[in-house]
């Protein structure tokens, strides 16, 4: 399977790219099985599993009972026995029910048995927001999984990366937590038709700039690119890095950028306290403290549970305008707020994705 290849590309959505990756992985390797609550139902996990049961049959694509911990143990056993399971959770919140299996078994098995036994398991977990999701259906828990040695954790933000990283995750001999933001599912991107892989440990520079290095995770890449485009019109050039991987973090790419800009800003979809943004700031500060011209800045969720209320959630999630305002303040830039508002004020309700960004990346 080749690394990233841009031949024969066309625009498809993030969800379609994930579905295509699953279909190609299952066609290539009969050891790949797909399991999860709602996987074979008409909605097909936001369309990412639609039609796969019809093509590959009920012995390889199947629903599961509401028994996350037990079913995760079964998937780990299947992986140890030679299969390559892809387990799907419609919300990352449900993975909390199988933390014992993931942390105490999947993550440690290879280490405990001196590399003689591998656990080639992929756990797809969906994060993101929207009306009525609330505190038990909208959490962004990548930092929790990234804390555990033995787990790889990725958060692709484009359809191209989603397909390539999912294929790479399925082929990987280690357990991989593959986190999708559902607001990305509808964004189109240039995606090659053929199978390809994208490394699970490399960040990508989405925009070059000299005034600050901005590292964003998952859907916050979209909000950051919107903010960066507006700020460029006002004379501020941001270097935007799509982190792509949460564990391992690609510290080298970030350090290379910070050495040029002297400013580090990290934007996460999760809470600020104990999050992966803090880990990235610490790693960069330990390495190139002397290159920083001002203290690093973290932009993340406020430290309260995600609200269900329409009115409370309005100011809970940082959007492009929030990001731009924070960056302007951090850089002490002389940019009138009216200029930011005129370019970045949302034209859609706050609980649905903005129309301004439809890809490609």
pLDDT tens figures, 169-185? 999 999 999 999 999 99
Looking at the structure, tell me whether residues 259 and 327 fall in a common domain.
yes
- What CATH number should be reported for the domain holding residue 210? 3.40.50.920
Is 172 within a domain?
yes
Is 358 within a domain?
no
**pLDDT tens-digit profile of 194-250?**
999 999 999 999 999 999 999 999 999 999 999 999 999 999 999 999 999 999 999
Residue 213 pLDDT? 98
**pLDDT tens-digit profile of 118-140?**
999 999 999 998 777 889 999 99
Residue 333 pLDDT? 97
Helices (H) and strands (E) in the chain, counts: 14, 14
Confidence category of residue 87, pLDDT binned at 50, 70, 90: very high
Looking at the structure, tell me whether residues 121 and 216 fall in a common domain.
no
Tokens of 271: 């809470």
- The DSSP call for residue 289 is G
Confidence category of residue 4, pLDDT binned at 50, 70, 90: low
Is 254 within a domain?
yes
The CA-atom distances, in angstroms, between 316 and each of 40, 137, 139, 190, 206 are: 34, 15, 12, 32, 26
Q: State the average pLDDT for the chain.
A: 94
Sheet containing 204-207, strands listed edge to edge, beginning at the edge strand earlier in sequence: 204-207, 238-242, 212-216, 264-271, 297-301
Q: Which of 192, 227, 255 is the last residue of a domain?
A: 192
Q: What is the DSSP string of 212-236?
A: EEEEE-TTHHHHHHHHHHHHHHTT-
Domain hosting residue 69, numbered range: 9-192
Tokens of 33: 């099985």
Residue 134 pLDDT? 85
**Is a pLDDT exceeding 90 seen at residue 347?**
no
Contact 268, 275 (CB under 8 A): yes
**pLDDT tens-digit profile of 12-28?**
999 999 999 999 999 99
- What CATH number should be reported for the domain holding residue 180? 3.40.50.970
Residue 270 pLDDT? 97
Looking at the structure, tell me whether residues 243 and 267 fall in a common domain.
yes
Residue 48 pLDDT? 97
Q: Looking at the annotation, which residues are catalytic?
A: 68, 137
Chain-centroid distance of CA 145 in Å reads 13
Element (H, E) at 246: strand 245-247
Q: Distance (Å, rounded) from C-alpha 89 to C-alpha 35?
A: 9
Strand-pair category, 212-216 with 264-271? parallel
Q: What is the DSSP string of 100-133?
A: IIIIIIITTHHHHTTTSS----EEEEEE---TT-
Query: What's the structural domain count of the chain?
Result: 2
Is 325 within a domain?
yes
Residue 346 pLDDT? 87
**Is a pLDDT exceeding 90 seen at residue 260?**
yes
- The DSSP call for residue 196 is -
pTM to 2 decimal places: 0.95
Confidence category of residue 1, pLDDT binned at 50, 70, 90: very low
Looking at the structure, tell me whether residues 242 and 150 fall in a common domain.
no
């Amino acid at each position: 399977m080749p690394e990233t290849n841009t031949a024969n590309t066309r625009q498809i959505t993030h969800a379609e790219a994930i579905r295509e990756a699953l279909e190609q992985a299952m066609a290539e390797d009969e050891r790949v099985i797909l399991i999860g609550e709602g996987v074979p139902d008409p909605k097909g996990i936001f369309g990412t599993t639609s039609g796969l049961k019809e093509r590959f049959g009920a012995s390889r694509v199947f629903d599961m009972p509401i028994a996350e911990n037990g079913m995760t143990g079964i998937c780990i056993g299947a992986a140890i026995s030679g299969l390559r399971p892809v387990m799907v959770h419609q919300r990352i919140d449900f993975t909390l029910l199988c933390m014992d299996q993931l942390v105490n078994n999947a993550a440690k098995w290879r280490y405990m048995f001196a590399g003689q036994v591998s656990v080639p398991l992929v756990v797809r977990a969906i994060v993101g927001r929207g009306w009525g999701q609330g505190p038990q259906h909208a959490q962004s828990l990548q930092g929790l999984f990234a804390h555990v040695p033995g787990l790889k954790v990725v958060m692709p933000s484009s359809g191209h990366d989603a397909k390539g990283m999912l294929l790479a995750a399925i082929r990987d001999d280690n357990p991989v937590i593959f986190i999708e933001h559902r607001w990305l599912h509808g964004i189109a991107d240039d995606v090659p038709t053929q199978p390809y892989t994208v490394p699970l440990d490399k960040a990508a520079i989405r925009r070059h700039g000299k005034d600050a290095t901005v590292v964003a995770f998952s859907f916050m890449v979209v909000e950051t690119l919107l903010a960066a485009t507006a700020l460029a019109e006002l004379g501020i050039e941001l270097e935007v890095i799509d982190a792509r991987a949460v564990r391992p973090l690609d510290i080298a790419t970030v350090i290379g950028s910070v050495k040029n800009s002297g400013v580090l800003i990290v934007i996460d979809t999760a809470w600020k306290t104990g999050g992966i943004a803090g880990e990235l700031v610490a790693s960069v500060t330990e390495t190139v403290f002397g290159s920083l011209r001002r203290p690093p800045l973290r932009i993340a969720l406020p430290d309260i549970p995600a609200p269900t209320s329409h009115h409370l959630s309005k100011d809970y999630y940082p959007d492009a305008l929030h990001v731009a305002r924070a960056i302007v303040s951090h850089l002490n830039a002389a940019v009138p707020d009216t200029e930011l508002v005129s370019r970045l004020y949302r034209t859609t309700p706050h609980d649905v994705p903005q129309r301004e960004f439809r890809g490609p990346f």
